[in-house]
């Protein structure tokens, strides 16, 4: 059963008045026909009785209409008005039923209580929404529709957060944010930056929906290396370039023919500091619309902040677990994870992997003679030298203590020998500044090729380690291939170029010390050199 419309109620009211007016006339005609036409009676008493009867009927009909029909019609009209206003989000309407009794009065009272309940609870929901997303529902808008839309948006945000929590890396989270900006809010131009406060850097992660492979697109490139140039990062406040286009001088219109582009830069807070900056670039005509959408965009960004921060910390922990804290090189655990990928890549490309196992000659006496701080300096200098002698695609690993391992991607067999000799010579020529002077060291290298020397990568590592052992046994400061026997074809290393050290490599066991204006006198230097020589004999 559907509610009657206003036109139907108006027709009912008109019909009721017509019935009320026509009823006495119809009754009079009927009585006249009965009394005069058929019976022929024409007495005064009969006429008086007829008039009295007619008056009673008119009064009865009028009383019934005003006390029964009219209140019902008025209440239906009032209910329709209240329901219409409720559908528009206005719950202040009330059913007017002054003369209603019984069931009508109860209906009116219940509907009025329902309107009070809706108005009170929707008001509370609006206040809670305003606190949650900093978005005030306008009193002049449809309150019910606005609150419904906001609640639906919060449900979508909750689902979004569950999705990004299940993502593996932070880059996946950035891509999901990008998809939301594109599909949910219709944005085509935007940038997502990751802030590294300790390095004063801003790293572009997403540019216009794609993973950032180049520098900035909508900001000057200097922002990447000087994060304080970004106004949103520096202040932690949203930068509104829609209403004030000149507020930030770092914005760059990458499409010079589009002078109507504006921007909004939203900082995302991670544990009290700016962790991300999201830059929205929009047409000037759409700027007002995106200012209204900004609270909803910020909800997504706030919900993703804790997830991104967590994944960043996890990546740092993982990176620290896979890197040597002293030298910054990858460690043995990383090699274990990297090996399957390297093997698969070499097999796919038809290349070989050269494994260089190397060890500093007589490193222990550096710690014993000059202290562990000098030993750390030596290891750091060696790691830097190794990285400069190989390509970026090659892997340098601190295998343990003073042992280092290099994995080379070789296009031709035997290429590892050339690189190994290059590394050996570079280390021999290296001068390492320490407290009071400089130190020179040498290195022994054993190498093997996968799959030419061993069918398994880890067997190649063992072969290179065995070759290293033979290199150290045969005099150190040399390169030995795993196929060379203990007695033989290994080549003696060429002497280091440049000035002759104060103590030869052979005398000092592969290391020498030269004073450089330190407070140590000649006797002290002599004592240290004697200690080096003595240690090399053990």
Distances (CA, A) of 144 to 89, 90, 93, 316: 5, 8, 14, 46
Least confident of 82-91, 103-112, 491-500: 491-500
pLDDT score of 499 = 32
Range from 117-126, 420-429, 480-489 that averages highest in pLDDT: 420-429
pLDDT score of 533 = 44
**Half-sphere exposure for 15 (CA within 13 Å, toward CB):** 8
Grouping H, G, I as helix, E, B as strand and the rest as coil, residue 203 is: strand
Nearest to 489 by CA among 471, 465, 510: 471
* Bigger pLDDT: 532 vs 291: 291
Q: Report DSSP letters for 348-367, one per residue.
A: HHT-EEEEEEEEETT-HHHH
* Bigger pLDDT: 284 vs 397: 397
Least confident of 9-13, 264-268, 318-322, 436-440: 9-13
- List pLDDT tens digits, range 324-361: 989 999 999 999 989 999 999 899 888 999 999 999 99
Take residue 320 and report the two structure tokens written for it. Answer: 């620290």
Strand partners, 267: 277
Reply yes or no on whether the pLDDT at 501 is more than 60: no
The alpha-helical segments, DSSP class H, found in 188-254 are 231-235
Q: In percent, how much of the chain has pLDDT > 90?
A: 42
Mean pLDDT across 445-459: 94
* Bigger pLDDT: 198 vs 48: 198
Confirm whether pTM is higher than 0.75: no
Nearest to 408 by CA among 439, 362, 450, 456: 450
- Order of all β-strands in the sheet with 330-331: 330-331, 395-400, 403-410, 352-360, 443-450, 479-481
* Bigger pLDDT: 86 vs 101: 86
Take residue 501 and report the two structure tokens written for it. Answer: 């050290």
In the predicted model, what is the mean pLDDT of the chain?
79
pLDDT score of 503 = 34
Least confident of 32-46, 229-243, 264-278: 32-46
pLDDT band at 26 (very low <50, low <70, confident <90, very high): low
pLDDT band at 524 (very low <50, low <70, confident <90, very high): very low
pLDDT band at 108 (very low <50, low <70, confident <90, very high): confident
Mean pLDDT across 280-290: 88
* Bigger pLDDT: 27 vs 222: 222
Contacts of 34 (CB under 8 A, 6+ apart): none
Nearest to 189 by CA among 253, 141, 142: 253
pLDDT score of 528 = 46
Range from 10-24, 126-140, 438-452, 486-500 that averages highest in pLDDT: 438-452
Distances (CA, A) of 63 to 11, 43, 515: 20, 31, 126
| CB 224 within 8 Å of CB 215 | yes
Reply yes or no on whether the pLDDT at 390 is more than 80: yes
């Amino acid at each position: 059963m559907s509610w009657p419309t206003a036109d139907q109620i108006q027709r009912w009211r008109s019909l009721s008045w017509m019935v009320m007016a026509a009823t006495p006339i119809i009754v009079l005609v009927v009585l006249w026909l009965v009394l005069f036409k058929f019976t022929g009676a024409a007495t005064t008493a009969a006429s008086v009785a007829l008039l009295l009867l007619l008056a009673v009927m008119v009064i009865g009909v009028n009383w019934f209409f005003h006390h029964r029909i009219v209140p019902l019609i008025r209440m239906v009209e009032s209910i329709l008005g209240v329901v219409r206003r409720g559908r528009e989000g206005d719950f202040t309407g009330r059913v007017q039923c002054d003369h209603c009794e019984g069931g009508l009065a109860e209906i009116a009272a219940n509907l009025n209580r329902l309107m009070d309940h809706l108005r009170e609870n929707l008001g509370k929901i609006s206040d809670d929404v305003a606190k949650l997303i900093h978005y005030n529902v306008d009193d002049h808008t449809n309150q019910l529709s606005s609150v419904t839309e906001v609640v639906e948006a919060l449900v979508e945000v909750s689902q979004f957060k569950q999705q990004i929590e299940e993502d593996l890396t932070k880059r996946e989270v950035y891509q999901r944010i990008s998809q939301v900006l594109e599909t949910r809010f219709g944005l085509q131009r935007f940038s997502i930056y990751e802030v590294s406060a300790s390095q004063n850097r801003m790293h572009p992660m997403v540019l216009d929906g794609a993973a950032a492979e180049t520098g900035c697109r909508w900001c000057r490139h200097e922002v990447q290396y000087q994060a304080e140039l970004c106004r949103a990062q520096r202040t932690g406040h949203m930068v509104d370039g829609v209403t004030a286009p000149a507020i930030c001088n770092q914005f760059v219109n990458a499409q010079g023919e589009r002078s109507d582009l504006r921007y909004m830069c939203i900082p995302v807070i991670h544990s009290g500091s700016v962790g991300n900056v999201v830059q929205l670039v929009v047409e000037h005509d759409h700027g007002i619309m995106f200012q209204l959408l900004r609270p909803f965009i910020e909800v997504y960004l706030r919900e993703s902040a804790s997830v991104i921060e967590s994944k960043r910390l996890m990546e740092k922990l993982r990176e620290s677990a896979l890197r040597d804290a002293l030298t910054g090189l990858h460690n043995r655990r990383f090699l274990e994870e990297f090996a399957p990928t390297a093997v698969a890549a070499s097999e796919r490309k038809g290349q070989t992997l050269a494994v260089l196992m190397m060890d500093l000659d007589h490193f222990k006496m550096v710690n014993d003679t000059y202290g562990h701080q000098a030993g750390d300096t030596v290891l750091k200098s060696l790691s830097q030298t190794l990285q400069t002698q190989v390509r970026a695609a090659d892997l340098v690993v601190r295998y343990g203590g003073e042992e280092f391992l290099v994995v080379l991607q070789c296009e031709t067999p035997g290429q590892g020998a050339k690189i190994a000799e290059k590394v050996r010579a570079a280390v021999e020529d290296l001068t390492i500044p320490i407290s009071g002077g400089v130190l020179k060291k040498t290195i022994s290298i054993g190498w093997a090729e996968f799959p030419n020397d061993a069918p398994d990568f880890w067997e190649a590592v063992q072969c290179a380690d065995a070759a290293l052992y033979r290199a150290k046994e045969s005099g150190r400061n040399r390169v030995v291939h795993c196929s060379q026997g203990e007695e033989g074809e290994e080549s003696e290393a060429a002497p280091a170029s440049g000035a002759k050290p104060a103590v030869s490599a052979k005398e000092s066991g592969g290391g020498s010390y030269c004073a450089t204006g330190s407070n140590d006198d000649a006797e002290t230097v002599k004592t240290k050199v004697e200690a080096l020589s003595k240690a090399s004999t053990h």
